[in-house]
Structure formats: structure tokens, C-alpha cells
Amino acid sequence: MQTPRRIRSFVLRAGRTTPAQERALEELWPAYGIDAGEATLDLAAVFGRTAPCCVEIGFGAGEVIGSLAENNPQIDYLGIEVHRAGVGRLLLRAEHSGLKNLRLICQDAVEVLRHRIADQTLDEVLIFFPDPWHKKRHHKRRLIEPEFVSLIAAKLRAGGILRLATDWQAYAEQMLVVCNGEPALRSSSKDLSYVARPEFRPATRFERRGERLGHGVWDLAYSRGEKTAANAVNDELHGERGENDAG
């Protein structure tokens, strides 16, 4: 019996890459890239040290993860993106900044988490402005759905953080329902709603454009398991302390 094909949350289009990005993809990938595959990654071997690890899924042009890697050399960052232009752009930034704490994977994030990341190894997962697939017939393509959130929860260490943001209200409401329904996650909001934008997250060009057009932005944050003295450090991975409720 043939296994039904999984619906992907992205569509690969023949996007344009610049000559500089193509050069980066060819010359810099050996230093920063992790080739697609199914073997479980040894993160300590990948980064050459043992340190907290933060993953950004769908980093786009790399504005967030690039800034975080530059400002937090004590943290290792793993970026996952399927679009080559964005990967090339972040590679150029990594070269310019001389980053040692950044690695990139150009592969479906579901496949990466399912096959390549061991359980309870990540300190933080960031998913900022995933495609909202706003047409009703495309909602099935949305990344944030129960099975994927359960997969993320399994990869987080005790006390590890999942952070999300979207400028599409209907998608924000779906995120709330899905994440609040995951038994392994605890909302950082006292009323199980949205949280204030974390100070460490730089606004992307996409986000700033939306703000100029009057679009709202909704942030969510969840931790794996109950907060204890032993895992409280994860709440402060990027300097965020305590409850972070919006409003």
C-alpha cells in the first residue's frame, strides 16, 4: 500500500539568486552548510563545542538569526530554509561577520526535525512569520499544526522555548489553539494568549513594511514542561525573564 504524500508547507519556485549569492552557495557552503540527509546530527560535533542551541525554521533572508548569532557568540544557531536566495544571503552575512556559531540546512524543516535532530536537544525554536496560506483551500499547507508542534516539543529540552510570530490574525488564532492543545508545552502567557514581542527579535523588512500598512503582529511563546530552578536558564536564553504577557 502506497503511503500518502505529506502536504508541504512551502512551494519551491525558481527564484532569482544574485551572482554574490551563487558564489556564497558554492564557496561558503562547506564552512557553514549541512548537506541534506537523514542521519541524526551530533550538534556538539557540528559546532565543535557544547553550547545552548537555537533553531530558526524558515529564516527567510536571515535577518533574525544573523543578528542573534552576531550578538550571542555563546549560543549556537542552526537555520533551516528551503529557498536558496535566502540561504545565499545569510551565508554572505556570516562571512562578513566571521560567524563561528552558525550552521545552515537547506531542507524541509519537518524532515530535519523528524530525522536529524535528537529528542530533547534544543534550547529554543523560532518560527517567525511562516507563510499564512491565507486562502481557505490552502490552510492544509500551514506549518503550525498539531503533529508538527508535537514534533517540536519532543526536540526541546525540559524548559526549552518555542517562539512564534505572525502578522495574520487568523493564523495567530490557529497557532494559539494548536499550541495550547499540546500537552507537553506550557504557555508563557498567564491567560494562554499572546505575549509581548521579545526585545531580542529584530524587525525584518517584511515586518516593518506590514507595520507601515497597519498590520498587527502577534507573538506567542511556550516552554516544554514545568519551569523549575534546574531549567529556568532556558527562559533567559536571549535575556527574556519571567512572564512576558502582551498588553
**42 is a catalytic site residue:** no
HEC string for 176-218? HHHHHCCCCEEECCCCCCCECCCCCCCCCHHHHHHHHCCCCCE
How many C-beta neighbours within 10 Å does residue 163 have?
A: 25
- Catalytic residue, candidates 108, 123, 131, 245: 131
Count of residues making up the chain: 247
**Residue the block writes with cell 554574490:** 20
In sequence order, the 6+-apart residues with CB closer than 8 A to the CB of 108 are 8, 10, 82
Q: What is the dihedral of CA 57, 59, 60, 63, to 10 degrees?
A: 160
Please identify every residue annotated as catalytic. Answer: 131
